[in-house]
Structure formats: structure tokens, C-alpha cells
Amino acid sequence: METLQVGLGERSYPIKIGCGVINQIPRELKTHYQATKYCIVADDNVASLYGHALVDAIRLAGLDCELMIFHHGEESKTLETIADLASQAAQHGLDRKSIFIALGGGVTGDITGFLAACYLRGVPFIQIPTSLLAQVDSSVGGKTGVDIPEGKNLVGAFYQPQAVFIDTDVLQTLPSEEYLNGLAEVIKYGVIRDRNFFDYLHDNRKQILALDQQHVSSMIYHCCRIKAEVVAADEKESNLRRILNYGHTIGHAVEAASDFEIPHGFAVSIGMVAVAKISMNQALLPSDENQKQFDLLKEYGLPTEIPDNLARIKIKQYLLTDKKIVGGKITFVLPAQIGEVVFSDQVSEQEIDSVLTVE
Ligand code: GLY
């Protein structure tokens, strides 16, 4: 098991990565995370796969543990779910010294983290992410929250977990589309921050796509290392952390315009290609570097083009209502070379139109 640290002073926490990490949870809780009661939160799918077994293992270790289950899917990421889970937690008698455990993908982490931030004005929580996307991104950094009819993630809090436990074994049961979905965020880390890692992803793509344990562990370790560095430098996203939004401005608009039919990672892949093209057109990103990113996304089987049947006008409408627009300006994260990005609010509407147009 490899351990990284997210350095946030008294709110610092470890990220523990390895195969079979879930089996070590009861011992970890007993030794390092004592509580009056533990409460695992999982969706119905993950509860059947791992939730019931984990509750049993924790109870077998002599610890008091409950399991709360919600219906899987983004539709559950609502204030109603939070209210329902909070009621259940109160009925189970969870107090300020209890610990919530998010067991699942990004939706579960966001819901559980926000529940933990609100319940009794804040109780500790632990993340056990079970999707690649959650393992390399959403479980680290303390972004929690829910959707409201006006938009995704519009209600939430920065609330850091006590620890993140990443079991690479669970990826074996992940549908292959879900794995690919996470790989877009993995490639993103190489482009924004680490050229060596980008080259590693290129050189080892066969093993990574074949889910080779050692390569997958190493890949996740490097993503978490980069994310931990960025979060430690800028927890509340006032500056550096915005680099993590690379490809996301256009990506989110594509995702929303498709009524969320296009998965998040696929939309981010399309968004990365689009902004790299803007950067190249501005003579910031050399064309061979643009090609390198394009080729790597293709090699991993990720989409690089907006589907023809997606109305450009709809994408533009979503772009213009992006929640990250400040003072009427969209700040784009543009690559300057592989491993380095810059912020720019100097992207014209025509430049955006040019990358949205079908060629
Ligand atoms: N997923 C982007 C962030 O955590 O800042």
C-alpha cells in the first residue's frame, strides 16, 4: 500500500492506494479512525457489490456500523437525498463522534461529503472511491455538494475527508466505459502538470488499458500526487486549482447539451481537444504538441469530436451560463505545452465558434 499526504495543516489527510485496501478498512478504522459509530453510504449497485460485505467485516471487528443506501445515479444528487439520509442518520443515533464512509463513485462521494459537512454542523467522513473517476479526481480535494434544478453542483461545501482509501482491485468490476471515462481525467493531469507522466501514459497504454495492477496503481498514485499538490497550494480554487478545470468549460457544455448522455470524461476529452485547438490557433501551443494530446486521447479510445447531432447553439447557450463565469468573462485553461497550462480570458466568441463548427 502506497501513501500520499494532502498537506492542509490540521486538515491534512492521507490517501492510501493499493490492491485489496478495502480488506484493511476494519483494522484501519480500529487503529486510526476511532468513532462511536460508522455509517457507510452507498448506492444500491455498490451496496450489493461491496457495501454489505464491508458492514459485516467492520461489525466482525467489533465496531458499530450501519449502511445507508440510496438509488444509483446523478438524479439522486439532490437536497431531498441529503434530507432523507440525515433523517436516517439521526434515527441510527449518529453523533458528532461518528464517521460517515462514502463507498462508491463521484455521486456517492459528493452526497456523503455534503451530508457530513451539514449533519450536526459537521462530522468526519472517509472516502472509499470505487470508480476510476472518483479515485483520481473527486474523492481528493474536498469538493462536495448536490445539484438543484438550476444546475449541477450549485449547492455544496469544501469539506475535506479524514482519509481516502483507494482499492485498485475494484476497477476489475467496473464496466469498461466507466474505466475509459476516468482515463480522460488521467490524461488531463499529464497535460496540465507533468510531461513525464504524459509520456508514461503513452508508453504504457497497453498495460493500462489491460488493467495491469502495477501500472494502474502507479497511474492512480501519480494522479493523486498531482491533485494533492494542487489542492494543498489552493484548497478553495482561488487560483492554481482552476487548472484542474482544463477541458471542462467546453466539456461541461457538451455534457449538458447532450442531456448528460455523453459521460463526463468523454465530454472532457472533447473539451480538451477543443481548447488545445484554440490555444494552437492563438500560436500559444505548438502544433506538434497539440497533435500529441490528440493522438494520446485517440490511442485510449476517447472521443475527440463533438457528435454531429449535437446542436452547436445548445452548447453555446450552456457555455454562456457556465457557473464559473465571473464578471461576464469565461476564463479558459489553455495548454502552452504538454505539462504546462495558462489562464486566459482572451478567447473571442469567433474562436469558440471555430472549434464548435463541424469541419
Ligand atoms: N475536479 C476538480 C477539482 O477538484 O477541483
CA-nearest residue for atom 3, ligand 1, is 244
215-248 burial, b if ≥16 CB within 10 A, otherwise e? Answer: bbbbbbbbbbbbbbbbbbeebebeeebbbbbbbb
CA-nearest residue for atom 2, ligand 1, is 244
Same structural domain, 150 and 189: no
Q: DSSP strand E in the chain: where?
A: 2-6, 13-18, 38-43, 65-70, 99-104, 125-129, 143-148, 151-158, 163-167, 332-337, 340-344
Same structural domain, 231 and 249: yes
242 is catalytic: no
Same structural domain, 35 and 184: no
CATH value at residue 149: 3.40.50.1970
Asked if 355 and 277 touch (Cβ cutoff 8 Å), the reply is yes
Could you give the CA distance from residue 139 to residue 110 in angstroms, rounded to a whole number? 8
Could you give the CA distance from residue 305 to residue 357 in angstroms, rounded to a whole number? 10
Reply yes or no on whether the pLDDT at 337 is more than 70.
yes
Closest CA to 56 of 70, 35, 40, 43: 40
pLDDT score for 54: 98
Domain count, the chain: 2
Same structural domain, 154 and 190: no
Same structural domain, 135 and 205: no
Same structural domain, 225 and 306: yes
Domain boundary (173, 197, 214) is at 173
pLDDT score for 273: 98
Residues 312-326 have a mean pLDDT of: 83
Q: How many residues does the chain have?
A: 359
Point out the catalytic residue in the list 248, 255, 277, 292. Answer: 248
pLDDT digits 0-9 by tens, 12-64: 999 999 999 999 999 999 999 999 999 999 999 999 999 999 999 999 999 99
pLDDT score for 358: 57
Beta bridge partners of 294: none
Enter the C-alpha cell of residue 63. Answer: 465496531
181 is catalytic: no
Same structural domain, 146 and 181: no
Ligand 1 pocket at CB < 6 A: 137, 141, 143, 237, 241, 244
What percent of the chain clears pLDDT 90, i.e. is strictly above it? 92
Same structural domain, 45 and 93: yes
Point out the catalytic residue in the list 77, 193, 242, 252. Answer: 252
Closest CA to 57 of 101, 31, 22: 22
Could you give the CA distance from residue 128 to residue 165 in angstroms, rounded to a whole number? 5
Residues 162-187 have a mean pLDDT of: 96
User: What mean pLDDT value characterizes the chain?
Assistant: 96
Same structural domain, 188 and 145: no
pLDDT score for 41: 98
CA of 158 to the centre of ligand 1 (A): 11
Asked if 115 and 41 touch (Cβ cutoff 8 Å), the reply is yes
Determine the atom of ligand 1 nearest the C-alpha atom of 140.
4
Same structural domain, 117 and 47: yes
Point out the catalytic residue in the list 66, 77, 181, 185. Answer: 185
CATH value at residue 259: 1.20.1090.10
CA of 245 to the centre of ligand 1 (A): 7
Asked if 36 and 98 touch (Cβ cutoff 8 Å), the reply is yes
pLDDT score for 146: 97
205 is catalytic: no
CA of 32 to the centre of ligand 1 (A): 27
71 is catalytic: no
pLDDT digits 0-9 by tens, 262-282: 999 999 999 999 999 999 999
Beta bridge partners of 151: 148
Same structural domain, 182 and 324: yes
Residues 115-130 have a mean pLDDT of: 98
Determine the atom of ligand 1 nearest the C-alpha atom of 227.
4
Residues 153-182 have a mean pLDDT of: 95
245 is catalytic: yes
Reply yes or no on whether the pLDDT at 249 is more than 70.
yes
To test the ligand 1 pocket, which listed residue (153, 237, 255) has its Cβ within 8 A of the most ligand atoms?
A: 237
pLDDT score for 322: 72
Could you give the CA distance from residue 303 to residue 309 in angstroms, rounded to a whole number? 14
pTM: 0.95
Work out the pLDDT band at 320, boundaries 50, 70, 90.
Answer: confident
Could you give the CA distance from residue 263 to residue 259 in angstroms, rounded to a whole number? 10
Asked if 318 and 312 touch (Cβ cutoff 8 Å), the reply is no
Which burial class, exposed, middle or buried, applies to 169 when counting CB atoms under 10 A from its CB (0-12, 13-18, 19+)?
middle
Same structural domain, 269 and 140: no
Domain boundary (127, 145, 173) is at 173
Rg (CA), the chain: 20
More confident residue, 357 or 270: 270
Domain boundary (144, 173, 202) is at 173
Determine the atom of ligand 1 nearest the C-alpha atom of 241.
5
- Domain of residue 158 covers 2-173
pLDDT score for 262: 96
